[in-house]
Structures are given as C-alpha cells and as structure tokens.
Structure 1
Amino acid sequence: MEMFIDGSWRAGQSGARMEIFSPVTGAVVDTVPLGDAADADVAVASAARAMESWKRLPMAERVALQKKLAQAMRDNADAVGKVLNAELGRPLAACIGEISRSADLLDVYAEEGLRLQATMSLGQGAGEKTIVTRDPVGVVVAITPFNYPITLLMFKLGAALIAGCTVVAKPAEDTPLSTLMLAEIFHAAGLPAGVFNVVTGDGRGIGAALIEHPVPRKVAFTGGTAAGKAIAAAATGTLKRLTLELGGQSAAIVCADADLDKATTAIARHGFANTGQFCYRVNRVFVERPVYEDFLVRLTEKAGKLTLQPEGGSGDLGPLVNEKIFANSALQSDDARARGARILLGGARVTGPGYDGGFYFPPTIIADATQDMAVMTEETFGPVLGIAPVDSAAEALALANASRYGLAGFVFSGDLARGLTLAEGLEAGSVWLNDIHRSSHYVPFGGMKESGLGREKGRYGVESYLEYKTMYLSYEVPE
C-alpha cells in the first residue's frame, strides 16, 4: 500500500519502504512507504487546505456525514477485519468486532456534536453582549499504537472531525494497513479530500516531523509513557495542545469478602484479552490473605482454559505482535522466577508446529509477587499477571497507588461501603467495582500521573479539540 493523502494514494517522496510482517508466521504481508519530513509537509498542507471549508460546514452536515462513515465501517467490517487480522495476528472474530465497536464511537461523537452550544452572558449593560463560542483547534496529528489501531484512531478522529478539525494520522509501524484501508473507505463514503490523511513511517522520522511541524495545533497520541514524554517536550516548541493516553500498570484489589468466582472470571477475561496487549488491563492483583490461595486456584483454572491460536488453527488468543513486545513478558516472568515467585501457569514461550513463526506467550500467573519484581512495578503489555497477598485492604490500596502510573483500577468487595471507599481512594482515571466491563463510549477515558494528559470519548473527547472564543458585541440601542 501507499500513503493516503488528499484523497488519493501517494508514494513516499524518498522511495524508501518498510515491510509489514505477520505476527503469526513472520512472513511479509505488505510494504508501505517509510515517510519523512517531506511527506509530512505534503500531508499537513493537504489537511490545512481542507480545514478551510471543513470547519465552516454546518454541524448538522458534519454529523450526517460522520454517521455515514460509521455505517461504511460496519459495511466493510469483514474486509478491514481481515487486514487487521493479517497485520496484528489477533483472532479474526475479535478484529471484526473492533471495527464494529469503533463505528459505534463515531456515532456517539456525532451525537455529542449536536449538543455543543455557545453561551451568552446576561450580565452586560444596554448595547453590549458577550458570546462565548468554540472554534476547532486546528489541524490535528493523530499517532496511534498497534494493539487496537482502529479503536484508538477513532478515539481521536471521530472527535476531531465533529469539532471541525482535519487530521493527519500516523499509525504504528506494525499495523498501518487497516488504517490506510479505512482512509480510502471514508473517502469513498463522501469524506472530502484532505480531511483525513494517513502517512506511514517511524516515530523518529515522519512522526517527529509531524510533531515539530509549525502548522498542526494539536497532537493526540496513544502509546508508551517514554514516547509520550518525548512528544510533550517536542510539542512545547509550538505550544501544541496535547492529548496523551500513555502507559498503565493497573492494579486490582480483591477483599476477603469478595465474590471470588466473579472476581476471577473478570480478571481472567480482562487480564488476558488481546494477549494482554492493551493499556488498562489488569497487570497486578493484591488479594487479602484469608482468600489468597483460593483465589489463585480459581484464577489459574480459568486462565488455563484460554488457548492460543496457532497458524491455520483456532484459539482464544493470538501471538504478541513483535519481538520487542514479547521480550517484556519473557523478562518479567524470568525476573519473578529468579526472585522466588511461584509461576502457576505459563511463563515461557510456546513453540512447535504452528507456533514457531510467531512470538507466542501463554497466559501467565505469577504468585507471591513482591514489589521488587518488575511485574509489580512496570507495564507488561503482555499476558502476565503478578499476584501478591496483603494483610488488609488498606495495605492493598497503598501498594496499588505506589506507582507512577494511574490509568485504571479494579476493586472487588462484598461490602459496598468498603468497595466505594477503595474505588475513591485509587489514583486512577477509571475504576471498576465488582466487575470489569469495556470502557464506555460516553464517559471520559484517560489517566492520572504518568498515564497521560486529557481525556477521550463522549463530550469530553470532542471538547478537547475545541478552543474557547469570547466575542464582545456593541450596538446602538434604539430610542
């Protein structure tokens, strides 16, 4: 594939290309341009031209078009899902589901656009009015990761388009194909040329060029904390607005009076979904001692039923996307084992026919984890859970908060008052009590501390792409 700029496919100006590999087989799936600063200039110029008319399009028309784009996603979910399956390795049904659920978010943002309002103060004197309105922030650079490339793009694109912004997206090096395909689908559905552009390349090349470019007024990024800090530092040169959804090392607290069946079902489901490759998964669990061993038995049994999908076969989980992501799971498992933890499940790469071509790591449960182990302090981004016993819920809360991250938290308690107290005490942007659902499209999503800046989804997401403008009006009052 080529880059998609100004409504058409465009080769990179340097001619350099990069290969996209299947995580399942290791074979080359396709190639895309390895873009550079020259390509960034072309894409940004296209977005800036398109914004002059896009921001003036009446909100009702933008809403109608966005709903049309959402339907186009649903109509093409199978085709885009197959491409996503090829580049990400996640089982096909889950890839198709990502496309459909992402379309729902476009609809939510469209609905929020209809609720945006200007206000007029009633405090002025005769012949004076003050109106507070909202303007689109400007051209937006959207930088997305590999793990949920379409969902996390829609977090940004859906809000930006409704706000009146145009977008230049740079997908992750591992998974650009589905985003490129979606850009063509959106253009065919009626999105004007230049409103949504997709460039390809690496972060240090075209990514840095986009962030440092003087024209874009906002960067929306989902990815690792180190990269987010570098983006924030680079964006200060032009005072770009930022939305950063960064790393997580989310903790679950399981009280002695919790429903252990519900807790272990939720944690097994959420901790290992997408082979652990998402930011707000359960990463570490603190369990009160009276139910610690029972919890471990139940969780190990449920996680042990999850299967890996080999090449040409079926299963619940795919491989990790590349060697770098795989290394986190392997290193954290080895570190815990060396420091005296019990590995109750998994803990080593799966090999053999159907598995040798990819980086397959099974669901892994590390018992008796301690705070000197990497699994309890650093993001894993893989299917590894660290479990530690605690003497009280207060101790669990203190340990959960003793982290530089603050993306999500989870509490299980049969006592509602205690559960709510713990949920309120967790230093995290989202907290679940007594079950773990998908994050809602209607409420804010984002992190505290080093897990990021700003919020996405719902009206909160749209507002982050708007600037307040105050207009002071004066007129002669008729006699």
Structure 2
Amino acid sequence: MLYINGEWITDGNKMDVINPATGKVIDSVTIGGREETKEAITHATEAFKTWKNIPGAKRGRYLATVVKLMREKREILAETITRENGKPFSDARGEVRSAIDYLEWYAEEAKRLYGDTLPASQVDKHLMVLREPIGVSAAITPWNFPLSMITRKIAPALAAGCTVVLKPASQTPLSAIKVFECFHEAGIPKGVVNLVIGPAEEIGKEMTSNPDVRKLTFTGSTAIGKKLMRDAADTVKKVSMELGGHAPFIVFEDADIDEAVTGVLLTKFKNSGQTCISTNRIYVAESIVEEFGKRLAQKTAELRIGNGMEDGVDVGPVINKGAMEKIAAQVEDAVKNNGKILQGGNIHKPEEGSGYFYEPTVIQYATEEMQIATEETFGPVAPIFPFSSEEEVIEKANHKQYGLAAYCYTKDMGCGLRMMKALEYGIVGINDPAPIVIQAPFGGVKESGIGKEGGKYGLEEYMEEKFVSIGMK
C-alpha cells in the first residue's frame, strides 16, 4: 500500500514480500513509481506551509500519540519485523522498543528548538539566529532495521517542522505500513507523512531531482549513497548518509577474555551479522589469540539457528539467497588463504522447509589478503586476526574507506584513552559492545557517511540557521 496525502492507495501493481526463514510469500503490497513519488512530494510541499508553523509542543503531542499507539501494537509490530526480516522475535521486540524510544525522545525535543541572540558589534543593531525547518525531506530506509530506521529519520524531521516522503526497503515494506497506520490513526495532518513503496531507481530519481525536496536522508550501502549524493548535487540538497561499515574489535592482552567473547557474540551475531556496526574484523593480541579463538568457537557453537518465530532462536536467516551466497564465497576465500574454521563454515539447511541460513562461523588465522579483511561482511562470520603491538593494530584497524564503529577491550585506562583518540571512527565502544543510545549521535566518518542521527544532533540535520540583523536607528 501507498500512503499519500493522508489516503491509502491499494490499486495498482503488486510486489510480493518473502519470509527469508521459509523462502515463501507472506504478503503482497501495492507499489508506485516516479509519478506517485512526485505526487507525494507535491502534497508534502503544500503541507509544509502549515506544519512548519504549528508550535513545537503541538507537533510533539502528535508524536506522543504515535508512541501510545505503537506501544499498544508492539507485539504485532515485532511479529511483522520477524516475518519479513527474519531476526529472532526477541530482537524484533528490542527493535520496536528502540523505534518507540526515538519517537518519544523527539516528541519531547520538539518544544526545545532554540535560536540565539548574538552580541552586536554596534549599539544600534540587534542580532539573532533563527533555526527553521529545512523543508520537505525524502527518506530511504534499509531492510535490516525496518521499523527503527523509519522512526529515527521521521521523528526528528516532524519534530523540527519538516514534512516527509519515505521509501522503505523493498524487502521489508510491511513494517513501514504498520507504523504509517499509527501515523494515520494519530491524526497527523494530510501530506505531512507520505509512504511510497516501489522500485528504488524510479523513486530515488524523483527524490534527488525534485527541487521541492530540500533534504535527503539515506541508510544503506556506500555505493548507493555515493550515487544518491551525485544525483542530489544538481539541486544542492542537504544530505545525511549512514553508509557501510567494517568494524574492528580489538582485544588486548590484559582484557577479560570472557567479557570480550561476550562482546563479540553481541556485536557479530545479532541480526545474523546484518548491521552496519557489526564486528567484521577481530584483532586479538598474539599471547591470547589461541585461547580467545577456542572460547569464542565454544560459545558460537551454543547459538541456536532457525526461524525467528521459534522460541530460543539466537540467529535467524540472512535476507536472501544472494546474501547467503556472498557469505559462503567470503568464507571459501578465507579457507583458500589458509584460514582455519573453528566453528560453522557452511550454509545451514533447516530441518523443515527452506530459507536462507548461514551457520555462525569463527575463522582463526585471518590475514589481510582475504576478501573478508577489506569487504563488508553482512553475515554471521567472525574472522580473528592476531596482532603484536598497539601501533600495529591501530594501523590495521583504521580502514581507509570505512569509519562507522569500532570496539576495544582492555583493562588499561591509558590504553583505552589512546585507542579512543587513535581509532578513526564515528562511534567507539571501549569495553562496551552496545554503545548506541537514543541521546547520542550515530554516524560515521570517511566513506561511512555524512551527518548524524540521534539526540539533538539528529534534530539539527533537519534545521537551517537564518541570521537576522535589525537596525534600531
């Protein structure tokens, strides 16, 4: 279904939605293209004229109503995520909580959009800086967090006074439909939020070329992000891009091995390794690398793989067959380059039905020559690289292309502080495998992105500064 100007559109071409745990069609949805996107932008442009002038406190109350509705529907929202994305139901519940938290945070922040009064350089002038909403915002969200990525973009936009046209990932449109049902039920005015499902090329072209769109926000691959930036340059749009990652996880000799192993399990195998901040390269001090690999393999073997709707499942499917085959190719390349598989290493065939599963895998003796050392692995594969010195691991950990998230385990506070400064990443967790919180900025450096989401930083992405100088003669 499409949602344009407060109306649901159900007529038109359809697209099937596949459950990656079974490979079967679970639903079909109406799709649109460039014309529907243009129509949505037109309505968003008209709605912006009114929405931007609504007091922030009132905009916040609309968001608070959506929060209430999503809390009431949290179980069906979580089930929808698992059915179309595949992640374990417990993880889907966590995503719903996160999605609600973003809405609640920005519902409160909507009334705190402050400007500034500047000290004048002349006695007969009064200087001010106003912060105003940028305008119609186009948002493109990914399939790996099909609900929370929507609210992380829409909530600050609406709080700031912007209107939105959203394109969700084609693999996971059902979660978007569910949250837009909540927007509709909350009575958000027509044209303020619009949903367009369909082919990325057509919808993206209209979003980037339409001059009425003043902001483009995207979460996805670096390659697609670069293309969107190039296309958006013709109309000089403001962009925020949360792109690919290749997170290092560094374990020093003095670290608590069991705590570090637990950290890897959380950062590597959650969502089957399909997150942009997933650990991709595990660097372990040579003196403990054998013991670390042994303990990680033991814990990895205990993970239960299966359909996310089954009780006790830790690792669900990957999103599709192509993703599964890419993971298998990277593992095969690692073995050819003398990597030793300590656990897993195979495509998983469920006892019943089909689906796209890959075993949680641990590879010892990883080297820089392997594909897995430089290419982002969107899957449950944990390669272990030994290192001998702090200087060596800093050089290896700082990826030339990526700079989203990095992790480090050590009991030496001095070492931790040095790593904090040396690691060229937008997010650094020192002895912390879960450094993401609502109030903090989320985003990368280098080719991992531009701009931030979360906290006051995410709100600023949807605002522009207007300087006003008043003569008082």
TM bucket by the smaller chain? over 0.9
Corresponding residue SS for 1:146: coil
Are 1:130 and 2:164 matched, yes or no? no
TM-score (norm 2): 0.97
AA aligned opposite 1:73: M
Q: How does 1:53-132 map to 2 (within 5 A)?
A: 53-132=50-129
Give me the whole-angstrom Cα distance separating, in 2, the residues matched to 1:77 and 1:346.
34
AA aligned opposite 1:339: N
Are 1:168 and 2:171 matched, yes or no? no
Other-structure match for 1:328: 326
AA aligned opposite 2:301: G
Other-structure match for 2:305: 308
Give how far 1:126 is off: 4.0
Q: Is the CA contact (8 Å cut-off) linking 2:87 and 2:308 kept in structure 1?
A: no
Give me the whole-angstrom Cα distance separating, in 1, the residues matched to 2:443 and 2:193.
24
Are 1:199 and 2:196 matched, yes or no? yes
Pairing partner for 1:349 from 340, 347, 350: 347
Other-structure match for 1:234: 231
Give me the whole-angstrom Cα distance separating, in 2, the residues matched to 1:418 and 1:341.
29
Other-structure match for 2:33: 36
Per-residue CA shift, 1:412-438, capped at 9, x if unaligned? 112110121012100100001112125
Q: Is the CA contact (8 Å cut-off) linking 1:428 and 1:447 kept in structure 2?
A: yes
Give how far 1:363 is off: 0.9
Q: Is the CA contact (8 Å cut-off) linking 2:242 and 2:443 kept in structure 1?
A: yes
TM-score (norm 1): 0.96
Task: Select between 394-403 and 286-295 the one with higher mean Cα deviation.
Answer: 394-403
Give how far 1:311 is off: 7.9
Give me the whole-angstrom Cα distance separating, in 1, the residues matched to 2:185 and 2:30.
22
Give me the whole-angstrom Cα distance separating, in 1, the residues matched to 2:322 and 2:400.
23
Corresponding residue SS for 2:201: helix
Task: Select between 77-86 and 109-118 the one with higher mean Cα deviation.
Answer: 109-118
Other-structure match for 1:469: 466
Task: Select between 31-40 and 336-345 the one with higher mean Cα deviation.
Answer: 31-40
Other-structure match for 1:287: 284
Q: Is the CA contact (8 Å cut-off) linking 2:23 and 2:356 kept in structure 1?
A: no
Give me the whole-angstrom Cα distance separating, in 2, the residues matched to 1:20 and 1:143.
18
Pairing partner for 2:210 from 205, 210, 213: 213
Q: Is the CA contact (8 Å cut-off) linking 1:73 and 1:100 kept in structure 2?
A: no
AA aligned opposite 2:324: F
Other-structure match for 2:412: 415
Q: Indicate how the Cα distance of structure 1 residues 71 and 293 shifts in structure 2: closer, same or farther if over 3 A, else same.
A: same
Give me the whole-angstrom Cα distance separating, in 2, the residues matched to 1:428 and 1:258.
21
Pairing partner for 2:242 from 245, 268, 278: 245
Pairing partner for 2:430 from 411, 426, 433: 433
AA aligned opposite 1:342: K
Give how far 1:312 is off: 6.8
Give how far 1:154 is off: 1.5
Count of matched residue positions in the alignment of Structure 1 and Structure 2 = 472
Are 1:448 and 2:445 matched, yes or no? yes
Superposed CA RMSD in Å reads: 1.5
Other-structure match for 2:316: 318
Per-residue CA shift, 1:306-329, capped at 9, x if unaligned? 111248743112111112222221
Are 1:254 and 2:242 matched, yes or no? no
Pairing partner for 1:369 from 360, 366, 384: 366
Other-structure match for 1:340: 338
Other-structure match for 1:27: 24
Give me the whole-angstrom Cα distance separating, in 1, the residues matched to 2:19 and 2:126.
61
Corresponding residue SS for 2:8: strand
Per-residue CA shift, 1:168-191, capped at 9, x if unaligned? 000001001111121121111121
Q: Indicate how the Cα distance of structure 1 residues 310 and 136 shifts in structure 2: closer, same or farther if over 3 A, else same.
A: closer
Per-residue CA shift, 1:338-362, capped at 9, x if unaligned? 11100111111011422x5210112
Per-residue CA shift, 1:288-337, capped at 9, x if unaligned? 10001011011111111111124874311211111222222111111101
Corresponding residue SS for 2:38: helix
Q: Is the CA contact (8 Å cut-off) linking 2:55 and 2:111 kept in structure 1?
A: no
AA aligned opposite 1:316: D
Q: How does 1:10-25 map to 2 (within 5 A)?
A: 10-11=9-10, 15-25=12-22
Give me the whole-angstrom Cα distance separating, in 2, the residues matched to 1:365 and 1:97.
26
Are 1:297 and 2:291 matched, yes or no? no
Corresponding residue SS for 1:236: helix
Q: How does 1:389-400 map to 2 (within 5 A)?
A: 389-400=386-397
* Structure 2: unaligned runs, 5 residues or longer: none
Identity %: 38
Other-structure match for 2:184: 187
Q: Indicate how the Cα distance of structure 1 residues 16 and 230 shifts in structure 2: closer, same or farther if over 3 A, else same.
A: same
Give how far 1:124 is off: 4.5
Other-structure match for 1:9: 8
Q: Is the CA contact (8 Å cut-off) linking 1:109 and 1:457 kept in structure 2?
A: no
Corresponding residue SS for 1:156: helix
Give me the whole-angstrom Cα distance separating, in 2, the residues matched to 1:389 and 1:438.
24
Other-structure match for 1:381: 378
Give how far 1:266 is off: 0.9
Give me the whole-angstrom Cα distance separating, in 2, the residues matched to 1:23 and 1:206.
25
Give how far 1:453 is off: 0.5
